[in-house]
Amino acid sequence: MHSSSATSVTKSSSAAKSQSASAKSAASSLSSAGHAQISSKAASASHNPSFTSSASAGASAKSTVATGCASASGDAPYSLSCSELGSVITFPDGFQDKEGGIVFLVHGTGSTGEETWDTGPYHTILPNKGKGYDIAWFTSPTRSLGDAQVTAEYIAYNIKVLAQKSKTGKVFLIGHSQGNINIQWALEFWPSMRQYVSGFVSLAGDFHGTAEGPLLCTGQDLLQAGCEPSVLQQSVGSLYLAAQNSKGGSALVTTTSLYTLEDDIIQPEVVNPTSDVPGASVLSVQRE
């Protein structure tokens, strides 16, 4: 459990099998974009089952403030300063300017970059696979429990920063859980960033929300003021998701979305999967 105030949700006994299959499928997408395959024996980051308390969520990108970093014409304004936006990236092995370029990892709700990715295949295998890849991960100052719109600002800003640093001039994005809607929001409302992305693999992305969100909030309401903003924003029918999917409901870059039918948090996945993204390669680990 990564958040001490979070509600615990029991994982299914099949999680390890599903995570391993996710790593195998994600590797194929990396390979097709010029990235090396990952060993199918290595498990991907586990789904964080932690949610805590809340506030309501807005539907559009935050308005600019005097200290906001400048954004490109046609992009949404940033509400945070450039120094704030640039302070959330870690190269766990240091930047080595590897030939394969930079793989940018984005964690999910209630976690950090290190907790999600440090012992997983994307960090332990990719750096020395094929040409080699520099690994960079994002860590949200709020553990991605705050407003998801603000979290997406960090992703949008750093896509370009990392691409300009990358040997290939682009980044390959891998997201987990909420990290995927943060990426999708960034690509939708900062369209100038799409040119810097070579591909995007989503692991357990809740692009259409999860029906479990309100249920997970209820217990916390008894002890705290309510659910955290990002939990409400990820709930089915939220204004946040309506805004995202009004324009960003389809693949905006080359995208592969991986999901498991046995996910304990991201539901529904059996009929009309919440991980479905029109225009993307959408794969269930049970069916591949």
Cβ atoms of 174 and 105 closer than 8 Å: yes
Average pLDDT over residues 132-149: 97
d(CA 99, CA 45): 25
Q: Confidence band (pLDDT; 50, 70, 90) for 165?
A: very high
> What single DSSP character describes residue 68?
P
Q: What are the sequence ranges of the domains in the chain? A: 15-284
Average pLDDT over residues 89-94: 98
Q: Confidence band (pLDDT; 50, 70, 90) for 237?
A: confident
Average pLDDT over residues 212-230: 65
Q: Confidence band (pLDDT; 50, 70, 90) for 221?
A: low
Query: 261: Cβ–Cβ under 8 A, 6 or more apart, which residues?
Result: 269, 270, 284, 286
pLDDT in tens, 45-77: 333 333 333 333 333 344 433 479 999 999 999
pTM of the model: 0.77
- Considering the domain 15-284, what is its CATH architecture? 3-Layer(aba) Sandwich (3.40)
d(CA 62, CA 149): 7
State what percent of residues in the chain have pLDDT above 70: 67
- Give the per-residue pLDDT at 248: 67
DSSP string, 246-280: HHSSS-SSSEEEEE-TT-SSS---SSS-TT--TTS
Lowest-pLDDT range of 54-58, 128-132, 195-199, 260-264: 54-58
Query: 73: Cβ–Cβ under 8 A, 6 or more apart, which residues?
Result: none
CA angle 229, 242, 217 (to 5 degrees): 30
- Give the per-residue pLDDT at 132: 97
pLDDT(38) > 70: no
Sign of the four-CA dihedral 48, 53, 58, 61? negative
Average pLDDT over residues 117-124: 97
Residue 206 CA: distances (Å) to CA of 19, 30, 201, 249? 16, 21, 13, 12
Query: 112: Cβ–Cβ under 8 A, 6 or more apart, which residues?
Result: 2, 139, 140, 143
Phi, psi values for residue 138, rounded to 5°: -95, 140
Nearest to 122 by CA among 51, 63, 37, 185: 37
- Give the per-residue pLDDT at 7: 31
Nearest to 173 by CA among 61, 162, 165: 162
